[in-house]
Amino acid sequence: MNKFPVLEIFGPTIQGEGMVVGRKTMFVRTAGCDYSCSWCDSKFTWDGSAKQEIVRMTADEILAKLTETGGDKFDHVTISGGNPALLKNLNELIDVLHDSGNEVALETQGSRWQDWFISIDDLTISPKPPSSGMITNWKSLDHIIGTLRESNRLKNTSLKVVIFNDEDIKYAEKVHERYPDISFFLQVGNDDLEENKATNLANHLLEKYEWLIDKVVASTKLNHVRVLPQVHALVWGNKRGV
Ligand SMILES: C[S@@+](CC[C@H](N)C(=O)[O-])C[C@H]1O[C@@H](n2cnc3c(N)ncnc32)[C@H](O)[C@@H]1O
Ligand SMILES: Nc1nc2[nH]cc(C(=O)O)c2c(=O)[nH]1
Ligand code: SF4
Ligand SMILES: [Mg+2]
């Protein structure tokens, strides 16, 4: 069996973002990313600072740890990172999770395709706007969305763009125009990753949320969309493992 680099296994908690926001879920966070977003809230997955915490685990070992941590208090597992789409054999984990009665969600940025995307129940693709410092490879994104469409998986797929400024709004409009039939989410960007008091962060992020709502309401190109904050950031602030 293949081993996967795991940085965190936690929960049950709620999915704080996007298409299944509020859903009770466990999290598996893999190490390693092909991007380096300026505002990444999970930099420890790729900047080397948590290198000694990475554990190489088989799918069975991950399920055992999920069960040890969450008991029988979960039936949904979200895989995030880093970019879990760097892991070619992750189908092994998805199969083990499905076989044990779980639904499986995945968070990725849309830079790499994997064949196992078609077995994900809740697939979130989060292309990165200009504020991240990353450049979108539209060919890759077209290929990913096109393959999901041909495989009849668009019902299981969503796009989620994190917004920090006006340029990011323009980028979100472009993404939504390019893939109009995919469930589309705009998410408040957290620009204060150092704040360690949850209530201070919540007050700040709620102001950002109001700004984002105002922008989307005023846009003629963002109609069939949803606007959300990171609910976990409102409740627990910048705490890790929630
Ligand atoms: C940490 S990433 C891991 C998965 C994948 N690498 C990706 O970016 O989609 C999970 C989600 O958190 C979002 N995110 C990261 N930093 C953020 C921040 N400072 N504020 C709001 N959302 C953020 C990402 O855009 C992504 O949708
Ligand atoms: N509660 C909670 N919801 C989340 N949604 C996406 C997360 C992520 O870091 O990928 C995340 C996370 O870390 N915690
Ligand atoms: S793609 Fe995701 S994990 Fe990678 S740097 Fe950007 S936000 Fe962080
Ligand atoms: Mg997060």
Burial profile 211-230: b = 16 or more Cβ within 10 angstroms, e = fewer: ebeebbeebeebeebbbbbb
pLDDT band at 233 (very low <50, low <70, confident <90, very high): very high
Please write the tens of the pLDDT for every residue from 68-95: 999 999 999 999 999 999 999 999 999 9
pTM of the predicted model, to two decimals? 0.99
Determine if residue 40 is labeled as part of a ligand binding site.
yes
Please write the tens of the pLDDT for every residue from 27-82: 999 999 999 999 999 999 999 999 999 999 999 999 999 999 999 999 999 999 99
Is the Cβ atom of 13 under 6 angstroms away from ligand 2?
yes
Is the Cβ atom of 8 under 6 angstroms away from ligand 1?
no
Ligand that comes closest to the CA of residue 81 = 1
Report CA(88)–ligand 2 centroid distance (Å): 22
Average pLDDT over residues 186-200: 98
Q: How far apart are CA 185 and CA 165, in angstroms?
A: 16
Burial profile 175-202: b = 16 or more Cβ within 10 angstroms, e = fewer: bbeebeebbbbbbbbbeeeebeeeeebb
Residue 220 pLDDT: 98
140, 117 contact by CB (below 8 A): no
* Burial class of residue 130 (count of CB atoms within 10 Å of its CB; 0-12, 13-18, 19+): middle
**Quick one: tokens of 52?**
């000694």
Residue 193 pLDDT: 98
DSSP string covering 181-195, please?
A: TSEEEEEE----TT-
Q: Quickly count: other Cβ atoms within 10 Å of residue 15's Cβ.
A: 23
Average pLDDT over residues 114-136: 99
Q: What ipTM describes this predicted complex?
A: 0.99
Is the Cβ atom of 45 under 6 angstroms away from ligand 1?
no
Mutate to test the pocket of ligand 2, among 80, 187, 231 (most ligand atoms within 8 A of CB): 80
Look over the chain and give the mean of its residue pLDDT values, rounded to a whole number.
98
Ligand that comes closest to the CA of residue 127 = 1
Residue 86 pLDDT: 98
Residue 68 pLDDT: 98
Please write the tens of the pLDDT for every residue from 214-231: 999 999 999 999 999 999
If we measure between CA atoms, which residue out of 15, 70, 13, 6 comes closest to residue 44? 6
Give the residues across from 123 on adjacent strands.
106, 157
Please write the tens of the pLDDT for every residue from 89-116: 999 999 999 999 999 999 999 999 999 9
Average pLDDT over residues 184-213: 98
Phi, psi at residue 162, to the nearest 5°? Answer: -85, 135
Average pLDDT over residues 163-183: 99
**Residue 10 gets which letter from DSSP?**
E
